[in-house]
Amino acid sequence: MVDGKISEIHGWAATKPGIQVEPWSYKPRPLGPNDVEIKIDYSGICGSDVHTILNEIDGNTMYPLVPGHEIVGKVITKGENVTTLNEGDLVGVGAQVYACLRDDCKECSRGLDPHCPHMVFTYNGHSHGGYADAVRVDANYVFKIPAAIDPVYAPPLMCAGTTVFAPMLRKGVKKGDRVGVIGIGGLGHLAIQYAHALGAEVVAFSHSPTKKQQATELGASIFVDTSNKEELDAVQGTLNYLLITSNAKSNQYNDYVRWMDYEGHIITLAVPEGEMRFTPIDFVMSEVNITGSLVGGRNIVKQTLDFAAKHNIRPIIERFPMAKVNEALEHMHQGKARYRIVLEN
Ligand SMILES: NC(=O)c1ccc[n+]([C@@H]2O[C@H](COP(=O)([O-])OP(=O)(O)OC[C@H]3O[C@@H](n4cnc5c(N)ncnc54)[C@H](OP(=O)(O)O)[C@@H]3O)[C@@H](O)[C@H]2O)c1
Ligand SMILES: [Zn+2]
Ligand SMILES: [Zn+2]
């Protein structure tokens, strides 16, 4: 049995609801035969970290919580059964760290491993996340970062990139489709790039008019200020897909239906508090489909990284030292991040 090299992991934990983490350490689980130990170089801050720290998702946060599920670092130890990774490999970990991956699992056998009944999220459960100096993770959920990608730009691809690319792959977004993206934050600014690289025409919707220039440079051909009625009217009935990545209140979602072309797909990725309200006539008249999508399974994480390497998709990032994580969280919470914060050790 191989022993890990690190006996104590030093991280930053939320201990109660509030935009605040504090130094906290824990003893990692014994290094299992299929585990690797990773020394963390970089960790992105996802909108879900903020929701979870604030206990805004179903009130299910388990404190103390070390957030962070956009992890990039180097393998420093591997368990005896790990054949796909080696010490020194530059790797990433996303929002999920375990699924059974058995052929007789209803979810895993269909590539729906994020829904596996044995699924383990990277934090808020049986393990802790990336606001730390190290993690121990099952090797099935540790992904090599392609050499073309500078490691500091890789963390946002692990959750944000994967989450937006997953529905595009699964629903077959293709050249010529009109793809709307509402909310130009960590997820949204990557969604523009992935959709554009697939050949789609991208419409960016934002409540921040100052984001127009960058959204356009990233590949949006139309920018809609969501407070401008004329701009909204101009895109009515035109979208084949709409990815909701905005934390705008969910009671606004029924407005979005009128932007859709018939048989279009609205895909909710964001998880703001509150309910969606629709009436049956909204669907009867529009024939629009509404669905959601949860992160992305193993195959999708790999495709997300490869596609980014091939099409030169990179997040726009702001770098903060890990020791300034509280400043970084405040910056993110105030909606000032442009467009993803990466913490560095
Ligand atoms: N489904 C999944 O598996 C999954 C995975 C990761 C994240 N998520 C969720 O996706 C959402 C976006 O995550 P993110 O990391 O992209 O967050 P983010 O960087 O904070 O972006 C959220 C965007 O929402 C827009 N927004 C509109 N109204 C807002 C308001 N009242 N307050 C704050 N933001 C507002 C802003 O864009 P504009 O300025 O352009 O309007 C903002 O940039 C979060 O709810 C997160 O939990 C889901
Ligand atoms: Zn995330
Ligand atoms: Zn399974």
- What would the pLDDT profile of 232-250 be if each residue is shown by its tens digit? 999 999 999 999 999 998 8
Task: Enumerate the CATH 3.90.180.10 domain ranges in the chain, comma separated.
Answer: 9-149+314-344
The CATH-assigned architecture of domain 161-292 is 3-Layer(aba) Sandwich (3.40)
The amino acid that residue 61 corresponds to is: T
- What would the pLDDT profile of 206-231 be if each residue is shown by its tens digit? 999 999 999 999 999 999 999 999 99
Residue nearest to atom 10 of ligand 1 (CA): 270
Tokens, residue 301: 């994480």
- What would the pLDDT profile of 21-75 be if each residue is shown by its tens digit? 999 999 999 999 999 999 999 999 999 999 999 998 888 899 999 999 999 999 9
* 277 confidence band (pLDDT: 50, 70, 90): confident
Residue nearest to atom 31 of ligand 1 (CA): 248
The CATH-assigned architecture of domain 9-149+314-344 is Alpha-Beta Complex (3.90)
Contact 41, 74 (CB under 8 A): yes
Task: Enumerate the CATH 3.40.50.720 domain ranges in the chain, comma separated.
Answer: 161-292
β partners of residue 290 = 266
- Report the percentage of the chain scoring pLDDT > 90: 92
The alpha carbon of residue 98 and the mean position of all alpha carbons in its chain are separated, in whole angstroms, by 16
Which pLDDT value is given to residue 251?
82
Contact 120, 97 (CB under 8 A): yes
As a whole number, mean pLDDT of residues 174-180 equals 98
User: In a mutational test of the pocket of ligand 1, which residue from 49, 245, 271 has the highest number of ligand atoms less than 8 Å from its CB?
Assistant: 245
Query: Which residues crowd ion ligand 2, with CB under 5 Å?
Result: 46, 48, 159
Integer Rg of the chain from CA: 20
- What would the pLDDT profile of 149-166 be if each residue is shown by its tens digit? 999 999 999 999 999 999
What is the pLDDT of the chain when averaged over all its residues? 96
Alpha-carbon gap, residue 283 to 75, rounded angstroms: 49
CB of 48 closer than 6 A to ligand 1? yes
Tokens, residue 244: 């909701």
CA dihedral of residues 329, 332, 336, 339 (deg, nearest 10): 120
Weakest mean pLDDT among 3-12, 47-56, 269-278: 269-278
